[in-house]
Each structure stands twice: as C-alpha cells, then as structure tokens.
Amino acid sequence: MTKSQALEVRDKKELETKGEKTMPARYFVPPTDIFETEDALTVVMEVPGVEKKDLDVHVENDVLRIEGRIDTSKYDGLSPLYSEYNIGHFSRSFVLSSKIDGGRINALVEDGVLTLKLPKIEEARPRRIPIS
Amino acid sequence: MSLFYSTPFNALIEFQRALDAFRDSSWLEQSFSGSGAFPPLNVFSKGDDIVLVAEVPGVRKADLKIEVKDNTVRIAGSKDVAYGERVSVHRRERPAGKFDRTVALPVEVNADRVKAECRDGILALYLPRAESAKPRSISIS
C-alpha cells in the first residue's frame, strides 16, 4: 500500500439487524479486514474505545461473534458542543468455514484494534503432493 | 446544557440522542477546518474547558502530531494497515493513510496546559480555556 495516500473517511456503519438486542441503544459494525495465510485466517477489527475486559469473542456452530462494549462513564460530565460521529457498542458476526480449529483461537487488542488468529485444522491446510 | 442520566441503562441512548442533536452544529462553523481527511471529531465542554475527541484505532501514539496555538488546533498523523506476505485478502474495510486537520475553536485556549491522551484507539484533547476567555461576573455598583 502506498504511504502517501490520504486517509479515506467513511461514516461509522450502524448495525441494521432488527430484533436482536434487548437494549434500544444503537450498535455499530466495526470495519474489518480478513485475510488468509496457509495455516490461519486473521480477522482484524477496529473497536475504538473498547477495553479488553469489555470484549466478547464467541465461536459457536461455526459462527464467530464479536461484541465490544464501550464505557459510557468516560463521557460523564461532558456536554456535546459539536459532533461528527456517534458512539455505541460494536457487534458483528461471521460464518466460518468448518476448517477452523475453534479451540486454538488467539485474540489480541491493541490501540483499539482487535486481532483474531483463527488457525486452520491440520487436514484443511494445503499440502504439496510429492510425485513418486 | 448538561446531561443527567436517570439510570445507567438509558445513559447510552440518551447520550446518542444528545450527540445526534449536535451533529454538525454551528459551533465550528466559523472556523477554517480541513486540509485533508481526518477521522471525525466530537467536541464537548467540561466546565469551562473544551474536550476534543476522535476515534483513531490502529494509530500509534508516535504517529500522532498535535499542535495548539491560540485558538487553533492541528491534529496530524498516519495510519498503516499491513497484511504481511503471501496472504489472500478476503475483506478490506479498514481505512489507512495520512490525515491532517486544523480546526479553529471559537474560544481561546491556554496552549501550555493542553493535555492529550490516546488510549484504546480514542484520542482525547483537553483544552483549558484561556483566562482571558473565561466569562467574568460583573458586580453592579
């Protein structure tokens, strides 16, 4: 990627699925990069303002679900004067292929970015077949 | 305007409504802002002081540059998104690149006492109002 490129600004995307959350507050869909290497699938998600303890990562029936809650108490005593974006919890899920080893998922949060390493199970890895 | 929440459960939704109400309010209208793309900004007041907040996930502290003079604040930085070698990319949604924005606040700021904090991808700038810009109560003789 070229370094001189200007940051492309997009509006935060709101979660649109209805009837899923019991709380009326708005949720946002975190921008996500997903890439695959030979032995793992990596999911990188932007969840600004979410602390480690407020992040939930679930894998159930091949569905990867990520929920991140922001701490609204940090905004106590602040009155808005001008706003360009809204805040809210984050939620997103992906259907995984069954090739993922759910027991060995590795998660890391740094500077508001969650990185998930989803290792592929042994037999799903590409193999070079020797020709005899 | 100050916000008081009746219960913690509706605190967030009340706050979301309040932020919506101040969407592109005229507060920064007079200022020249711009020169390049920038993650969106929220501006709050806290007592006499001004708090500027932006979401900058994935931006390292070392890559942020903040300058304050009188009533102008400049925030610049860059963000890299790397994938590594030999990968096949399935989704690419995270923005990357350089940003630089200057905003002129309608109040004068004490540049010596500005505090900047960057944690969990949130940049917060605490800008104390300059003494000369504080309201004074006038006693009637």
Contact (CB<8Å) A7/B38: yes
Nearest-Å Rg of the Cα atoms of chain A is: 18
Quick check: A59 pLDDT over 80? yes
d(CA B119, CA B113) in angstroms, rounded, equals: 19
Residue A119 near residue A40 (C-beta atoms within 8 A): yes
Token pair of B105, please?
């606040």
Instruction: Report residue B1's pLDDT band, with 50, 70 and 90 as the boundaries.
Output: very low
Distances (CA, A) of B52 to A30, A113, B121, B126, B136: 22, 21, 14, 7, 24
pLDDT in tens, B116-137: 999 999 999 999 988 887 778 8
Q: What is the mean pLDDT of residues A83-101?
A: 88
Q: What is the pLDDT of residue B133?
A: 74
- 55-94 of A, contacting B, C-beta below 8 A: 72, 75, 77-89
Residues 6+ apart with CB under 8 A from B88: A35, A36
Residue B13 near residue A53 (C-beta atoms within 8 A): no
pLDDT in tens, B2-36: 455 456 667 788 888 888 888 877 777 655 555 55
pLDDT in tens, B86-95: 888 988 999 8
Between residues A132 and A68, which one has the greater pLDDT?
A68
Alpha helices (runs of H) in chain B, residue ranges in sequence order: 11-21
d(CA B23, CA A87) in angstroms, rounded, equals: 12
Q: What is the mean pLDDT of residues A60-74?
A: 89
Between residues A124 and B15, which one has the greater pLDDT?
B15
CA distance A103 to chain B (A): 22
- Which of B5, B12, B80, B117 is best to mutate for the A interface (most A CBs within 10 A)? B12
Q: How high is the mean pLDDT of chain A?
A: 84
Between residues A31 and A19, which one has the greater pLDDT?
A31
Tell me if chain B has a CB within 8 Å of the CB of A53.
Answer: no
Residues 6+ apart with CB under 8 A from A67: A55, A56, A58, A89, A90, A91
Distances (CA, A) of B111 to B28, B62, B125: 19, 20, 11
Q: Which residues are bridge partners to A90 per DSSP?
A: A28, A68
Amino acid in position A68:
G
pLDDT in tens, A28-52: 999 999 999 888 999 999 999 999 9
| Whether the model pTM is above 0.95 | no
Q: What is the pLDDT of residue A1?
A: 45
Residue B14 near residue B21 (C-beta atoms within 8 A): no
Between residues A43 and A8, which one has the greater pLDDT?
A43
Task: From chain B, pick out residues whose CB is under 8 angstroms from the CB of A3.
Answer: 78, 80, 98
Contact (CB<8Å) A9/B88: no
